[in-house]
Structure 1
Amino acid sequence: MQRPGKGKTPRRPGPKKASNTERDPVGVYCRIRPLGSEDEECCVEMISSTTIQLHAPDGLKANRNGEYKETQYSFKKVFGINTTQLELFEDVAKPLVEDLIHCKNGLLFTYGVTGSGKTFTMTGSPGEGGLLPRSLDMIFNSIGPFQAKRFVFKPDDKNAMEIQSQVDALLERQKRDSQQAVPKTPSSRQKPDPEFADMISPDEACKSENVDEDGCYSVFVSYIEIYNNYIYDLLEDAPYDPIRPKWLGGSTPVRSNEYVPPQSKILREDQNHNMYVAGCTEVEVKSTEEAFEVFWKGQKKRRIANTQLNRESSRSHSVFTIKLAQAPLDADGDHILQDKNQVNVSQLCLVDLAGSERTNRTRAEGSRLREAGNINQSLMTLRTCMEVLRENQMCGTNKMVPYRDSKVTHLFKNYFDGEGKVRMIVCVNPNADDYEETVLVMRFAEMTQEVEVARPVDRPICGLAPGRRHRNQAFRDELSRRLEERGGPSNAVDDRVLMTQLIESLPDLPTCELVDPADDQTLPRLIEVLERRHQIRQMMTEQFNKTANTVKSMLQQFDSQLSAKDYFLHDQQSKLNEKDKVILSQKTEIERLEKKSKTLEYKIDILQKTTDMYEQDKRALQQELETREQRLQSELSERKRMEQRMQGVVTDTRLKWEKECERRVNAKQLEMQNKLWVKDEKLKQLKAIVTESSSGGSAPTERPEKPERPSRERDRNIQQKRSPSPLPKALPVHPKHRRSHSAGGEKWVDHKPPSNLELDTVMQPIIPNAIKVSTPSEKALSKCHKYVLRHQELASDGEIETKLIKGNVFKTRSGGQTVQFTDIETLKQECPLAPSRKRRSGSAEGPAEVEDIENRAPVASTNSSHGYQKRRKP
């Protein structure tokens, strides 16, 4: 598996709407600095290792209720006044350095009021090194044995990193070495810069144990400052008039009016949407001392000034960036793999923010006032960005974060979008004079802890076998050992020593000047010396030939071994090629099978979905079938009940009509008999009158009555039993009707529930002087003496039956009202085709219904305990 990116700063993949990315809150720590003197009032108290409490000073203690203001704030960890720089580094910065070595980015910045100890926390002082020098020390202690040579990694101008070959890197080194300028002699007024040994003791050195030994590393550093919302490069070679702290050997903090600032830099966005400073100087460093020296070179150019609150106040935001470029070794473990796709660049930004301050306390004027305004504006923009980020994350909104309103937020936009871990150290001055500013800082820190940043993912390593460097070193050691055992290198060393001794043993040539022709000593001495030198030369030649033969034999032996190894390697290579072919064929087959498996899985998914759809349809149809069967069964049972009911109704109707016909026939017979009897009586009276008139006033002679027939006498008795009067009389017609006894002069409460139905009939209860209510109330009952409730229900034949439940209203002792029910009146409407039971039974007692036989008009009746009241329906 290959690492992503082409030598560029690693970037998290684009944001996903379906957020499955793990997120971590911004880590916020708090550090409390000691008071300047014992006379100062303290307003900060450390409650626990994670909580501090702020006490308002005497002038601000009482609020509106006269109570004391005491607020508590919690952090990831709180460091008290006795915390050492090492303890702070191990808890805060050490995890970021380990992430840097493992290709993860990090951002660490200090925040607080002016004079709260931000620069001391970040930089430190002699004997108490801060987070920055300790981070550099840990990096070089971890990657020291695995560093690449200088200029092997080369940054380009687009925030990316390139790899040069060994030859190009060597030429670059020679070129830079020849261009090295002679260092200038420091001025007599300045002291030498502090060394790294003065900042950190060897006992406090830290090291990461989880370093990839199969990679090569290079460290690049850059140092910028953001002054008045402009970016300046502190490592750029330009004329500068720095103001240095006195403990660094600087002069008094007064800046010259003739100072001209250098050219500002601009922010740009690379192809991976990462922000960087265009044209910023990046220096490759190979040791902690060298990196520390570069840092102090830029630190001397940083803008500081003397204010009322801080003698050496930072007037700008400084950003020290450590870039770590790393690439894996090749398969032999000897050189860096020449593949830009395998280069990873991670960076750690250490930011020292300028302190927030109030101009009414610093009494700033002129340029100091402008600096303070720009500092406060940039810090306000940082607060605004944090607030918008928190609102977007907690409320689900999508507001635009104003990163571009300040260079500080614009530069670190990628970190808050998920490029790495973010840590903040809130520095607090417990002096009561800084209480109001400290409260604002605490609120910002508390709000920042709720902002979440995407957790950086682990970068995959290249697909080479691990332990390549170790195997290469072991091979070299074994080769040297075997050469020493065979005597090759040792004999060669002896031969060189012998040759050196022979050359040194060559006698010096004597003086060859002949002054006296008779001199017979100079020439023999010269001849002797030359012969001796000739002998030594012959010995050297023999020794050289011997050594040459030995080396030749060794070379031949090495050639034979190399040929054997080449043959063996060729054989192994052929076997590997065959295996590769087999593996390739297997891989092809596996890919084919995987594709087939995916296709089958896709088909299975489709079939499963189709089966699920059919199952759902089947269940729906089964439910619908069951519902219809139940409905059919209910309809069948209802039909059977209706048939039984209709059979019963037909049977009852037939019986009713048979009885009714018999009754009507009997009635007609009686009527005809009555008519005949009446005619007979009239004839008798007429005969008597005629007889009296014919007799002329004489006493009428009584005619003996003719005995009636037994049948007529029986019929007359039956008619007298059925009818109280011998002749049917018409019902009296009254102009006014009283439907019930409730039509008296008393006042009634007519309680008619809303559920009652209006019946289309004339037989409706009429209650004068009534108060109609749907719900009874004490007020209505107090005004009346009578109470009636209308109750409707279904009778046995399916008709609506209305009952009037009546009662008297009495007052209770407690002042309330009570009702005592005394009567129930029933109103019922019947159909003429369905005669009542009394009429069917032929009972002559109290007819409850009158029927017009000829016109077939129904008549309603009322039946109450008071009597009967009948009205014919028109």
Structure 2
Amino acid sequence: MQRLGKGKTPRRPGPKKANIEKDPVGVYCRIRPLGGEDEECCVEMISSSTIQLHAPNGLKANRNGEYKETQYTFKKVFGINTTQLELFEDIAKPLVEDLIRCKNGLLFTYGVTGSGKTFTMTGSPGEGGLLPRSLDMLFNSIGPFQAKRFVFKPDDKNGMEIQSQVDALLERQKRDSQQSVPKTPSSRQKADPEFADMINLDDACKFENVDEDCCYSVFVSYIEIYNNYIYDLLEDVPFDPIRPKPPQSKILREDQNHNMYVAGCTEVEVKSTEEAFEVFWKGQKKRRIANTQLNRESSRSHSVFTVKLVQAPLDADGDHILQDKNQVNVSQLCLVDLAGSERTSRTKAEGSRLREAGNINQSLMTLRTCMEVLRENQMCGTNKMVPYRDSKVTHLFKNYFDGEGKVRMIVCVNPKADDYEETMLVMRFAEMTQEVEVARPVDRPICGLAAGRRHRNQAFKDELSRRLEERGGPINDDPVILDRLIENLPVLPPCDVVDPADDQTLPRLIEVLERRHQIRQMMMGQIDKTANTLKSMVQQFDSQLNSKETFLHDQRSRLNEKDKVIINQKTEIERLEKKSKTLEYKIDILQKTTEMYEQDKRSLQQELESREQRLHRELSERRRAEQRMQGIVTDTKLKWEKECERRVNAKQLEMQNKLWVKDEKLKQLKAIVTESNSGASSSTERPERPTRERDRNIAQKRSASPSPRPTAVPVHPMHRRSHSAGGEKWVDHKPSSNLDLETVMQPIIPNAITVSTPNEKALSKCHKYVLRHQELASDGEIETKLIKGNVFKTRGGGQAVQFTDIETLKQECPTASSRKRRSGSEEGPSQMVDIENRAPVANTSSSYGYQKRRKP
């Protein structure tokens, strides 16, 4: 297809390949009628190969104020009045003829959702589409020359095998013995009323140039590609009401000829149009469709119906098929109904419908990409890889675009104005596809070295004519000679004698009779000659008949032996079937028992897992409670230790004061006694009175209760100089989980970038790295570790840290150190009073110091 008025990409000559002819992809266009008379139309058919698109109201005028109209040219355009027969005659009929000639074909419909793709492919009651008409033409052409069932058998590797007559007979008998499989005669049978109107066609087509020296068999398969997964629509899965199994997806494989096929796909052998379409209708009921805003029965998957035609030559006698797998030719025709592209803004798709629409649009986009790459490789001489594997649709049909058959595409168009933008995209894709060329398939010979029955009959006629000529001329000329002799017999003259003197009548009569006698002698000789020839031929035929009777007798004896073998095999088969049924019954029982045990096992595993999780939660809660109780016990212990220490210190101070007062009293008493004994003078007694009064005042002050604790001097937070306070830049990694201790001395790192999570940007700006890590020490205090390292660049352009040092910061209570000093000292009472006076100040300030420990 070529869009008029637009320059094409110039073709650059690519590498030439010898003896390879190419044909462009055939692109056709079909316009469906409008749904209502009041709808606006945006597509106009100009000629039999050109259409024109008009922009609807609101989109007509472009920036220059002109109307936007675009024309597209196809191989052929089919208007709204085109019948299904006309479409079939122009598009599908040549593909069916090529199928009989052992050539492959691909026909697919493309377009926006609701444009008539499924109607074009399948049809409706009274108007059969391309698929039923193709099947009808195929069976009308090869009907009298079809092989019996099970003569050909798929080998599960995209090939066909030939079975012997005995194996095929056993397969047919086994099929007939199964009551669940309906018998279908090879002749035309009565169709199902549900689809009878689609296949009962009055205008049946037929291909006349069918090789009568071959036997044919038809196999069909039907798959769908849903969400980029392949499902077999003809697969019979036993329904389990207790645990229904979802359909299993199939995979794509490559056979020995590098052709793609669906592994494990069901291939059904059919013998009539009714049987083939019944198989198709069975799969059509399983296809996924849904009701959307644009289409009441919108296809949600791509469907592929494949028709395989297997043909093999007959032997020289024309009775049996040659048992040579190399002589078997398999050709196939793929009829593809692609799902329509759609915009979710118009269909209002949600949930699974939205996912389906996304997969459909993605697969169609992959198809467009493959076409673009093929076109670029052919026109520009490039060798880019075509992304066939990005989608199952393109991967399955890659062989057709590589030269394994003809490719035809029908672009279905809905002319309503609402689909204008989607129709434009479809036209652009069709324009590009028109320029893609596919290698022309090469004709494959059907017969090999052996001749068929037509050649055998001609050879027999030639040999018979030669033998007759050797024996006196062909037998076909004898009737002609006899007819000529009969025609030359002279007519008898009048025999009446009136006058006795008449001397002319009798001589004339005698002469005529003599001539007739001579002719009679000639006829007798000719008859004898012909009789002798016939006798020799009869004798020859008798000898041949005797030899054939002998051959037939031998064949009968062999057939009787085969019958005995078949009877024995039937008996063995019946025995094996009974054994198989018994084993199947046992297997069913074991499977049910296994399922019960598996279910019990799963329930026990779930219960065990739940109990383990509950136990794990209980253990974790218990550990957290233990840690919490340990912290509470530690805090309470420290609190009571401090309280006890305070009370002991106060008691010791009180007892020391009392002891000191007693000592003073004893000294005074001793001095009084000494003075009274020695009889000191009055001059000496006067100066000592003030001394005793001073000592008494001091004792009273000391015996009084201790004064209240002085308030703590306000402490300004002072910071020590950290070891990291150099000239380098640091990354200070302080996790968000760390606690702010609010202690007096804290390390400060200048030129530092503080982060809670390290990143490459911060590491690239700094030379050093420090990580603050907090943990609970053995004495219940919080211990902070400063893990330091150097930042260096790696070869890949990143940043790495090499740890070199660990600095440990631990907070301690100042009262603990004072207790240690008091326990190890032996100073006088005055020094103990100073220590006890300083301890409450340090305790009420609620400030802590820290210690440093370095680890290499």
TM-score, L = length of structure 2: 0.51
Q: Does 2:117 match 1:118?
A: yes
* One-letter amino acid of the counterpart of residue 79, structure 1: F
Distance 2:300 2:345 in 1: 17
Which position in structure 1 is the counterpart of 2:423?
A: 438
* Aligned mate of 1:313, from 272, 276, 298: 298
Q: 2:283 aligns with which of 298, 305, 309?
A: 298
Find the aligned partners of 2:274 and 2:457 in 1 and give their Cα distance: 30
Tell me the residue number matched to 1:26. Answer: 25
Residue in structure 1 matched with residue 396 of structure 2 by the alignment: 411
Pairing 1:421–2:421 present? no
Distance 1:454 1:201 in 2: 36
The reply on whether 1:47 has 2:42 as its aligned counterpart is: no
- Residue number in structure 2 paired with 1:94: 93
The equivalent of 1:146 in structure 2 is 145
Instruction: Name the CA distance, whole Å, in 2 between partners of 1:295 and 1:562.
Output: 50
Aligned match for 1:282, one of 245, 254, 267: 267
2:161 corresponds to: 162
Return the alpha-carbon distance in structure 1 between the equivalents of residues 393 and 252 of structure 2. 10
Q: Distance in 2 between matches of 1:26 and 1:409?
A: 15
The one-letter code of the counterpart of 2:332 is: Q
Deviations 1:737-777 (A, max 9, x none): xxxxxxxxxxxxxxxxxxxxxxxxxxxxxxxxxxxxxxxxx
Partner AA of 1:169 in structure 2: A
8 Å Cα contact 1:193-1:296 kept in structure 2: no
> Could you say which residue in structure 1 is the equivalent of 2:341?
356
Q: Does the 8 Å contact 1:234/1:302 carry over to 2?
A: yes
Note the alpha carbon deviations across 1:501-533, whole angstroms, 9 max, x for none. Answer: xxxxxxxxxxxxxxxxxxxxxxxxxxxxxxxxx
Q: What secondary structure, in the 3-state scheme, does the structure 2 residue paired with 1:204 have? A: coil
1:334-733 equivalence runs, <5 A = 334-464=319-449, 468-469=453-454, 560-562=543-545
**2:219/2:308 contact within 8 Å kept:** yes
Q: 1:171 to 1:409 in 2, by over 3 A?
A: same
Displacement of 1:59 after TM fit? 1.3
Q: Is the contact between residue 195 and residue 289 of structure 1 (CA under 8 Å) also seen in structure 2?
A: no
Q: Which residue of 2 aligns with 1:330?
A: 315
Partners of 1:262 and 1:211 in 2: CA distance: 40
Shift of 1:166: 1.0
Task: Give CA deviations for 1:166-215 in whole Å, capped at 9, x if unaligned.
Answer: 1111111001111241679xxxxxxx954554114442100001111100
Q: Is the 8 A contact 1:218 1:324 kept in 2?
A: yes
Shift of residue 260, structure 1, vs aligned partner: 5.8
The corresponding residue for 2:607 is none
Counterpart position of 1:67: 66
Q: CA separation of 1:274/1:41 partners in 2, compared to 1, >3 Å: closer, same or farther? A: same
Give the match's secondary structure for 1:41: coil
Q: C-alpha distance in 2, partners of 1:313/1:418? A: 32
% identical equivalent positions: 91
C-alpha change, 1:262 and 1:211, in structure 2 (3 Å) is same
* Cα distance change on mapping 1:154 and 1:16 into 2, 3 Å: farther
Secondary structure of 1:60's match? coil
Deviation at 1:468, TM superposition (A): 1.0
The structure that has the greater radius of gyration is 1
Matched residue SS, 1:203 = coil
Offset at 1:457? 1.1
Aligned to 2:640: none
Distance 1:102 1:224 in 2: 25
After TM superposition, the score normalised by the length of structure 1 is: 0.50
Whether the 8 Å contact between 1:196 and 1:289 is mirrored in structure 2 is no
Q: Which amino acid aligns with 1:143?
A: I
Q: Does 1:172 align with 2:171?
A: yes
1:844 alignment partner in structure 2: none
- SS at 1:294's partner residue? helix
| Amino acid of the structure 2 residue aligned with 1:218 | S
- Residues 453/298 of structure 1: CA separation in 2 closer, same or farther (3 Å cut): same
Q: Deviations over 1:468-499 (max 9, x none)?
A: 158669999xxxxxxxxxxxxxxxxxxxxxxx
The answer on whether the counterparts of 2:315 and 2:452 sit within 8 Å (CA) in structure 1 is: no
Structure 1: distance between partners of 2:182 and 2:215: 31
Are the equivalent residues in 2 in contact too, given 1:240–1:301 (CA < 8 A)? no
* Contact 2:199 2:274 (C-alpha < 8 Å) held by counterparts: no
Residues 405-451 of structure 1: CA deviation (Å, up to 9, x unaligned): 00000000000000000000000000000000000000000100000
Checking the alignment, whether the CA contact within 8 Å between 2:220 and 2:306 is kept in structure 1 is: yes
> Compared with structure 1, are the counterparts of its residues 473 and 367 closer, same or farther at alpha carbon in structure 2 (3 Å cutoff)?
farther
Q: Secondary structure in 1 aligned to 2:139? A: helix
Residues 1:273 and 1:261: Cα distance change in structure 2 (over 3 Å): same
Letter aligned with residue 284 of structure 1? E
The one-letter amino acid paired with 1:437 is E
Question: Partners in 2 of 1:105 and 1:404 — Cα distance?
Answer: 22
Amino acid at match of 1:228: N
After superposition, what is the alpha-carbon deviation per residue over 1:701-759, rounded to whole angstroms, capped at 9, x for unaligned? xxxxxxxxxxxxxxxxxxxxxxxxxxxxxxxxxxxxxxxxxxxxxxxxxxxxxxxxxxx
Write the distance in 2 (CA, Å) between the matches of 1:274 and 1:86. Answer: 32
Name the SS for the 1:425 alignment partner.
Answer: strand
- Within 1, Cα distance between the matches of 2:262 and 2:86? 33
CA distance in 2, matches of 1:566, 1:283: 40
Instruction: State the shift of 1:18 in Å.
Output: 2.6
Contact conserved, 2:312 with 2:447, CA < 8 A, in 1?
A: no
**Alpha-carbon deviations, 1:147-168, whole Å to 9, x = none?**
0000000001100100011111
| 2:317 and 2:452 in contact (8 A); partners too | no
Aligned to 2:84: 85
CA distance in 2, matches of 1:399, 1:167: 52
- Alpha-carbon distance, 1:261 to partner: 3.3
Closer, same or farther in 2 for the Cα pair 1:199/1:474, shift >3 Å?
farther
Distance across 1 between alignment mates of 2:332 and 2:56: 43
How far does residue 138 in structure 1 lie from its aligned partner after superposition? 0.4
Q: What SS does the aligned partner of 2:107 have?
A: strand
Indicate if the aligned counterparts of 2:315 and 2:451 stay in contact, CA closer than 8 A: no
- Tell me the distance in 1 between the aligned counterparts of 2:47 and 2:224: 36
**Cα separation, partners in 2 of 1:172 and 1:382, compared to 1, 3 Å:** same
Distance 1:61 1:239 in 2: 57
- By how many angstroms is 1:296 displaced? 0.3
Distance change in 2, residues 1:302/1:64 (3 Å): same
Aligned to 2:37: 38
For the Cα contact (< 8 Å) 1:104–1:347, is it kept in 2? yes
Q: Which residue identity is paired with 2:260?
A: M
Is contact 2:260-2:397 (8 Å) kept? yes
Aligned twin of 1:219:
218
